[in-house]
Structure 1
Amino acid sequence: MAPKRTRAGRALRWTLGIVGAVLLVAIVGTVVWSQAGVMAAETEPLAAVRADDRIAITDTDGGIVLAPASGAGDVGLVFIPGAKVDPWAYASKMSGLVTDDGLTVVITKPWLNLAFFDLRPLTSLTDLAPDVDAWMVGGHSLGGVRACQLAADAEALVLFGSYCATDLSDSGLPVLSLSGSEDGLSTQEKIADARDELPADAEMVEIPGASHASFGDYGVQAGDGTPTASDAEVEAVIVDRVRALASTLPR
């Protein structure tokens, strides 16, 4: 009997060792993949934000805080980047919300550069700007999908070239969906297919000439359409529409 138990123990240890090795390889592979091919922020738009003395920038491990240099306003936006996009790539497009609307924007730094790996609650992000009273949550592409999961803890939701996989249809939440007519990834068809996940009064805004990458400044993205709208035109719509939403929120 003893030899049989020994063989059984060896077999169990061998099996556990194989399972452990497979899991280790999978984890290492995921980490390596998440760091490879990250789309970097374009130099000139980011440099302009950093040189703008109207914007106070705080760079933390959890996120990038863009706030009015004159002091935080009443409303803020937690913005979640798209998959494998440098968070700094959104600083320029979000800067008008700070300089023109007086909003505070927290651009998150998702774990492994992928929003669905980032399990932090919304409070861990809003705590980066404790003086703000009311918070919107939003995101681009996969970041918008994650924002939908956090929306119950916010006063409003903003989607940037994205759509929900979470049912918010009965939430009563104010929702703004900004999409691009030339978006080859979050296409108008995909957004329409997911429309039932949003409240009936959600504001759906298609930006003429905007592509998927038009919501950031990180260059051309594989599978995307060709934009015909300028960066200034896209930013103007973002600023105008988000300002209108922010004005309706309780302080």
Structure 2
Amino acid sequence: MQKKRGRRVLKRVLWSLAIVLVLAVVGVLAYTQIGVMAAEPEPLASVRENPAITVTDADEGIVLAPADGDSDLGLVFIPGAKVDPWAYAAILQGLAEEGTTVVITRPWLNLAFFDPRGLDAFTSVAPDIDVWGVGGHSLGGVRACQLAADADALVLFGSYCATDVSDSGLPVLSISGGEDGLSTPEKIADARDLLPADAEMVEIDGASHASFGDYGPQDGDGTPTISTDEMHDEVTRLTEEFLAPVAP
């Protein structure tokens, strides 16, 4: 009798654990799929209509490349949490115009944290390019830091490293926003020691967290005072100048 009662208790415990596990999985899946911030149509239209670049929706990601095919430098870019990858096409198209092939990844479950793929899963889209930078926005930048060991340069947009790359010898560019309410200037300063001593740290006055993409306002963010066009131009200029010495 005692044994039967023990087995019933054990079954109840196991069923309870199974239900909790299922509910946790369902909750995580729901969280990653609900509230994804969509790309704004007008900036995206400017990308699709840009005759200076080609836009390819490949298995490896969204590929922006110079229309003339003349590119010997690549950048793998990882989106922020629950942001449509297409929301970064407009702010990155200027790099493609200047000769850099950009691959915007599609993180698993819309969160870079859950994406275990290595850098070569994305660089394989352009096998003729030997020099690759890796970058990202917000959580995408945190993931980019984890992949930096396999890259030739690291670019952070409104982000910071949780991985120590201070002794990597990598060229690093960190672009932050003065009005960023999420990756605040204070948070970026606190994580500064995880970057190489010669990392380029640039703060754009008037830029918010969402200024680094085109997906609309974001909860908890500051209010931008810089226009979209000015932001795109400044990010393109800073990133292009940074990557130029890295190019072969």
TM-score, normalised by the number of residues in structure 1: 0.94
Which position in structure 2 is the counterpart of 1:42?
40
> 1:140–1:160: 8 Å Cα contact kept in structure 2?
yes
> Aligned partners of 2:220 and 2:9: how far apart in 1?
48
Identical positions, percent:
65
Give the number of equivalent residue pairs: 248
> Aligned partners of 1:16 and 1:62: how far apart in 2?
40
Which position in structure 2 is the counterpart of 1:74?
72
> Aligned partners of 2:247 and 2:67: how far apart in 1?
23
User: RMSD between aligned alpha carbons?
Assistant: 1.4
1:8 maps to a residue whose letter is: G
Which position in structure 2 is the counterpart of 1:240?
237
Which position in structure 1 is the counterpart of 2:165?
168
> Aligned partners of 2:106 and 2:100: how far apart in 1?
19
Which position in structure 2 is the counterpart of 1:24?
22
> 1:72–1:132: 8 Å Cα contact kept in structure 2?
no
After superposition, residues 46-57 of structure 1 pair within 5 angstroms as 46-57=44-55
> Aligned partners of 1:132 and 1:229: how far apart in 2?
34
- Offset of residue 20 of structure 1: 1.6
> Aligned partners of 1:69 and 1:230: how far apart in 2?
27
Which position in structure 2 is the counterpart of 1:141?
138
> Aligned partners of 1:75 and 1:206: how far apart in 2?
25
Confirm whether residue 123 of structure 1 aligns to residue 124 of structure 2: no
Which position in structure 2 is the counterpart of 1:186?
183
1:245 maps to a residue whose letter is: F
Deviations 1:69-108 (A, max 9, x none): 2115111111111111110000000000011x21011111
Going from structure 1 to structure 2, the CA distance change for 1:6 and 1:72 (only over 3 Å counts) comes to farther
Which position in structure 1 is the counterpart of 2:87?
89
Going from structure 1 to structure 2, the CA distance change for 1:34 and 1:72 (only over 3 Å counts) comes to farther
> Aligned partners of 1:93 and 1:215: how far apart in 2?
7
